[in-house]
């Protein structure tokens, strides 16, 4: 066990079937007999606007509108407001409770000074990195949205165009093709998987980024990867080394369950042979649920080997849920040849999930990083990607210091493009990129890959001993 892995450990003390396929809108498969009463509709803001309860939606929308300037207070307050730390908020989030701690002695800054022939400044911090085999302009990527209506046609395409423009990878989520089609023949191809790929390619920054196509159990039945790999439209991605396939083992918002969406009667009839169709809500809308899939160490190992054998020109990613054995699963995936393992913390978002799962199921992301770090050497070159409440630079910097290579933007990306379909995501990313440059420079370093556990402090004194940041209880 490495010394830094105890950094988050004391925070633990602060934390308090239906058969798949063929189900119709009749009583078949229902737990209780009798008529189903439609559930009441919760109050919501103006129609056509996304909202995210418990998420800093207002702050994200402000960044999507104003860009990098939102890394600071309002200029109108300059000269009138005395600024200082806001100590009013408390949180049980593992990562939020950590602090980034700059040193006095900065040998890496001296090395940069010698190289540049002048004093280094924050704009000298290099953000370019490698994410799962892709060259990326900064340590961030767009996470999968899946087939949920929250990632509507316009928002999904807008996110793709802006991610391409930024030079960061983008994951296209599971079930997009089985639910919305592939898009080769349909007149309305924008809804499709191919539509999202084309939107990204249309504005992709030359030599940067990449498309990652996620596949689950039902996607395998639909041969999603085969279609993409053999499609001439994907050839430029293959030839430039910017196509990856991601095996979805699970997700953060509902670990242990498959993807879920609400669909109408017509779609339910079309998809009944491939998915569990459950009339739990009554009325015209039914629950469409994916299988979570069945995995053992050997099954996961063989799946990855098959991916590498069948699609040798594509990178291999594996997405893991915040499971209690997340570290063991990550080690199996890397040993089998995965180019990247992405881990959703329990804080990660979703378009639809049972309420009980949103607050009471799965490990927090900080705990996932701790468990993986215990089994991973500091010099390990394997790629670890993380997601869960990512929207600003400090949280991303903490994850990088704890061993992650990059962070995924999910809800934040959707809210940003919902705010401004043309520039919202670009503005959001430019703001967090500037924050990363400020933070990394303050820590006396000049590349995001140089961050490490020595850059963090925990409010629990025992953690400080492990990182060398303290000498014992105060």
Q: Please, which pLDDT band fits residue 365 given cuts at 50, 70 and 90?
A: very high
CB 408 within 8 A of CB 143: yes
Lowest mean pLDDT among 72-81, 225-234, 256-265, 443-452: 256-265
For the stretch 179-188, pLDDT in tens is 545 544 344 4
What's the 3-state SS for the chain?
CCHHHHCCHHHHHHCCCCCCCCCCCCCCCCCCCCCCCCCCCCCCCCCCCCCCCCCCHHHHHHHHHHHHHHHCCCHHHCCCCCCCCCCCCCCCCHHHHCEECCCCCCHHHHHHHHHHCCCCCHHHCECCEEECCEEECCCEEECCCCCCCCCCHHHHHHHHHHHHHHCCCEEECCCHHHHHCCCCCCCCHHHCHHHHHHHHHHCCCCCCCCEEEEECHHHHHCCHHHHHHHCHHHHHHHHCCCEEEEEECCCCCCCCCCCEEEECHHHHHHHCCCCEEECCCCCCCEEEECCCCCCCHHHHHHHHHHHHHHCCCCEEEEEECCCCCHHHHHHHHHHHCCCEEEEECCCCCCCCCCHHHHHHCCCCHHHHHHHHHHCCCCCCCCCEEEECCCCCHHHHHHHHHCCCCEEEECHHHHHHHHHCCCCHHHHHHHHHHHHHHHHHHHCCCCEHHHCCHHHEECCCHHHHHHHCCCCCCC
Q: Which of 58-72, 151-165, 166-180, 261-275 is modeled with the greatest confidence?
A: 58-72
Is residue 71 scored above 90 in pLDDT?
Answer: yes
Q: Please, which pLDDT band fits residue 311 given cuts at 50, 70 and 90?
A: very high
pTM of the complete model: 0.84
Domains and CATH numbers, the chain: 3-13+93-257+292-467 (3.20.20.70)
Q: Which of 45-49, 440-444, 461-465 is modeled with the greatest confidence?
A: 440-444
Written as six digits, the tokens of 278 are 């459950």
As a whole number of angstroms, the distance between CA 229 and CA 312 comes to 10
Mean pLDDT over residues 71-95, rounded?
A: 84
So what's the pLDDT on residue 195?
A: 85
The DSSP bridge pattern shows strands 260-263 and 286-289 to be antiparallel
Is residue 201 scored above 50 in pLDDT?
Answer: yes
Query: Quick one: which of 216, 185, 395, 200 has its CA closest to 290?
Result: 216
CB 272 within 8 A of CB 279: no
CA distances from 133 to 9, 241, 407 (A): 31, 8, 15
Q: Please, which pLDDT band fits residue 218 given cuts at 50, 70 and 90?
A: low
Lowest mean pLDDT among 9-13, 177-181, 357-361: 9-13
For the stretch 138-165, pLDDT in tens is 999 999 986 566 666 688 899 999 999 9
CB 333 within 8 A of CB 339: no
């Amino acid at each position: 066990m490495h010394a830094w892995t105890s950094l988050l450990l004391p925070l633990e003390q602060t934390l308090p079937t239906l058969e798949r396929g063929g189900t119709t809108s009749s009583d078949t498969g229902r737990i209780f007999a009798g008529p189903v009463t439609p559930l009441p509709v919760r109050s919501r803001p103006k129609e056509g606007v996304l909202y995210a309860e418990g998420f800093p939606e207002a702050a994200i929308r402000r960044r999507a509108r104003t860009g990098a300037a939102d890394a600071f207070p309002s200029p109108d307050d300059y000269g009138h407001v005395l600024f200082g730390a806001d100590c009013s908020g408390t949180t049980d989030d593992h990562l939020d409770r950590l602090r980034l701690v700059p040193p006095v002695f900065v040998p890496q800054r001296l090395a940069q000074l010698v190289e540049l022939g002048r004093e280094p400044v924050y704009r000298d911090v290099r953000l370019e990195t490698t994410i799962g085999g892709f060259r990326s302009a900064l340590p961030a990527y767009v996470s999968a949205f899946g087939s949920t209506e929250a990632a509507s046609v316009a928002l999904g395409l807008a996110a793709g165009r802006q991610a391409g423009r930024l030079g960061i990878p983008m994951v296209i989520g599971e079930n997009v093709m089985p639910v919305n089609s592939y898009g080769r023949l349909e007149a309305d191809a924008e809804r499709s998987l191919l539509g999202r790929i084309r939107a990204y390619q249309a504005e992709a920054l030359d030599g940067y980024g990449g498309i990652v196509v996620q596949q689950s159990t039902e996607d395998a039945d639909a041969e999603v990867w085969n279609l993409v790999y053999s499609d001439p439209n994907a050839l430029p991605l293959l030839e430039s080394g910017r196509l990856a396939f991601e095996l979805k083992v699970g997700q953060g918002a509902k670990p242990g369950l498959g993807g879920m969406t609400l669909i109408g009667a017509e779609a339910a009839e079309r998809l009944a042979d491939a998915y569990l169709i459950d009339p739990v809500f009554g009325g015209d809308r039914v629950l469409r649920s994916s299988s979570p899939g069945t995995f053992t160490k050997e099954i996961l190992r063989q799946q990855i080997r098959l991916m590498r054998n069948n699609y040798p020109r594509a990178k291999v990613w594996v997405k893991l849920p915040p499971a209690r054995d997340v570290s063991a699963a990550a080690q199996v995936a890397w040993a089998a040849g995965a180019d990247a393992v992405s881990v959703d913390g329990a804080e990660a978002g979703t378009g639809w999930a049972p309420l009980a799962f949103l607050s009471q199921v799965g490990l927090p992301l900080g705990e996932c990083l701790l468990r993986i770090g215990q089994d991973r050497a500091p010099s390990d070159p394997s790629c670890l990607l993380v997601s869960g409440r990512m929207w600003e630079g400090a949280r991303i910097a903490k994850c990088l210091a704890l061993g992650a290579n990059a962070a995924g933007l999910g809800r934040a990306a959707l809210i940003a493009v919902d705010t401004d379909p043309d520039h919202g995501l670009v503005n959001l990313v430019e703001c967090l990129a500037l924050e990363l440059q400020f933070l990394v420079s303050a820590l006396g370093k000049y590349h995001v890959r140089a961050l490490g556990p020595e850059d963090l402090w925990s409010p629990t004194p025992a953690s400080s001993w492990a990182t060398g940041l303290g000498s014992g209880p105060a």
